[in-house]
Copies of this chain bind each other. A is one copy, B any other.
Amino acid sequence: MSHTVEILSVGTELLLGSIVNSDAQALSRELAGLGLNVLYHSVVGDNPGRLAAAVELAKSRADVIVTTGGLGPTCDDLTKQTLAECFGKKLVYHPECAEGIRCFFHSMGKGMTDNNLQQAWLPEGCQVLDNAWGTAPGCAFEADGRYVVMLPGPPRECLPMFRERAVPWLARLGEGVIRSRTLRVFGLGESAVEDLLRERMNALQNPTLAPYAKEGEVELRITAKAATAAEADGLITPVEAEVRAILGDLVYGADVSGLPQVVLEGARRRGLTLGTAESCTGGLIAKRLTDVPGSASVFKGGVVSYHCEVKAGVLGVSQALLDEKGAVCAEVAEQMALGARKALGVDLAVSATGVAGPDPDERGNPVGLVYTALAAPDGCWVKELNLTSQAARRDRNRNLAANHALDMVRRWLEGSAEPL
């Protein structure tokens, strides 16, 4: 029978709306991927009485309780104190945790105040979850027929702590190891992907196969439970192969952060450089490439040619063409990519020109009409896109246009004869 989970987040800053509860989202996805059934999210402030009542409630309606936040010295380790009390446990001092906290401060080159050592007090009999991403250790214990996991609040600590520390501990729920692999798919909507895979998804029990829609992309998570990691991986691999056989090159990577990472790694492997020429995306493609640390070894630069003058002056797009057809046409996309390839001195250049919205352009081209192009050593390709025409979807249109442009590079790097 599937276990039921409540995610209990502690933090007045959540109730004030200063931050969004991204931990609850990230953990929900991870827990669903483990086959656990998240039934409740709840948030309380830094208040012992309300937190204790929320813990009692969670005990009454879920058998796995995952808390986030309220660890660490500034909140007096509220969560650990309160959870320990609710489960009739004492806090005991863990010298090895104190040492870990001292080391963390040392590695950051910072002085440590003594109240940080308070964090080394943890519920008796718990499993300490070392925090390699911050100072407050987490912990996990089983009591009163409930499984409790306590994680720090900062998202940069919470998610890796869950993946690296809590998941192995939670394996006891299924009496084995849980592993997952995420395939990323671009070029087909979630419902179309589901249609193609529904039969297999319904038939599969272990591993499970679950889709998650992202803006303009779909993630497919394959999750297996087994006695050992190798055995779990052995269950995942044939399902991955099956999915890839069905979806073909719509699958652009496994366990990758996104198209920018795949494009950068592909180009790096082949010793090629990359540049951009952007009109409607306005710098977004370059921004997303340079979000990735180390992108400088591949990405040389880009031109944001928002005005036609810049298209002509910096990228060398024909002024006669711009006068005749305007900025939104296949030929301009092509000349932008070719011009960027030359002006930036790169092997591969992508471009995007179109109407992101909210209004049609002055020539009456509709919102959502975008052309992307790729200029490579062996040719130049242009793709016409008809994205959403809703005026309010400017951000979505820009994101999709960037994804399509990056996907052309990805396909070319994979050796596609027509990288569209």
A40 in contact (CB, < 8 A): yes
Q: How far is the CB of A62 from chain B (nearest CB, A)?
A: 11
A14 in contact (CB, < 8 A): yes
A357 vs B294: C-alpha distance in the bound complex, in angstroms?
9
Q: A301 — which chain B residues lie within 8 A by C-beta?
A: 303-307, 310, 314
A17 vs B30: C-alpha distance in the bound complex, in angstroms?
8
In A320-377, the 8 Å CB interface with B consists of: 343-345, 357-359
- Taking a contact as CB atoms under 8 Å apart, the answer to whether A41 and B21 are in contact is yes
A164-172, A264-272, A279-287: which lies at the B interface?
A: A279-287
A293 vs B360: C-alpha distance in the bound complex, in angstroms?
12
A209 vs B358: C-alpha distance in the bound complex, in angstroms?
35
A323 vs B281: C-alpha distance in the bound complex, in angstroms?
33
B27, B42, B295, B345: the one contacting A17 at CB < 8 Å is: B27
In A1-21, the 8 Å CB interface with B consists of: 9, 14-21
- Taking a contact as CB atoms under 8 Å apart, the answer to whether B21 and A20 are in contact is yes
Chain A: interface residue total (CB-CB under 8 A) = 73
A394 vs B293: C-alpha distance in the bound complex, in angstroms?
8
- Taking a contact as CB atoms under 8 Å apart, the answer to whether A313 and B20 are in contact is no
Q: How far is the CB of A338 from chain B (nearest CB, A)?
A: 16
A138 in contact (CB, < 8 A): no
- Taking a contact as CB atoms under 8 Å apart, the answer to whether B40 and A44 are in contact is yes
- Taking a contact as CB atoms under 8 Å apart, the answer to whether A39 and B28 are in contact is no
- Taking a contact as CB atoms under 8 Å apart, the answer to whether B14 and A392 are in contact is no
A40 vs B12: C-alpha distance in the bound complex, in angstroms?
10
Q: A57 — which chain B residues lie within 8 A by C-beta?
A: 57
A171 vs B72: C-alpha distance in the bound complex, in angstroms?
39
Q: A386 — which chain B residues lie within 8 A by C-beta?
A: none
B42, B300, B359: the one contacting A43 at CB < 8 Å is: B42
A103 in contact (CB, < 8 A): no
A124 in contact (CB, < 8 A): no
- Taking a contact as CB atoms under 8 Å apart, the answer to whether B50 and A39 are in contact is yes
A390 in contact (CB, < 8 A): yes
Chosen A-B contacts, 12 in total, with CB atoms closer than 8 Å, are A9-B41, A15-B38, A17-B30, A19-B25, A108-B390, A276-B283, A282-B287, A290-B304, A293-B358, A301-B305, A302-B306, A303-B314
Starting from the known contacts A282-B290, A301-B304, 19 additional A-B residue pairs (CB-CB under 8 Å) come to A16-B38, A17-B29, A17-B31, A17-B212, A18-B213, A20-B20, A21-B21, A21-B41, A41-B41, A282-B289, A283-B287, A286-B306, A290-B398, A291-B395, A300-B306, A300-B310, A310-B345, A313-B343, A313-B344
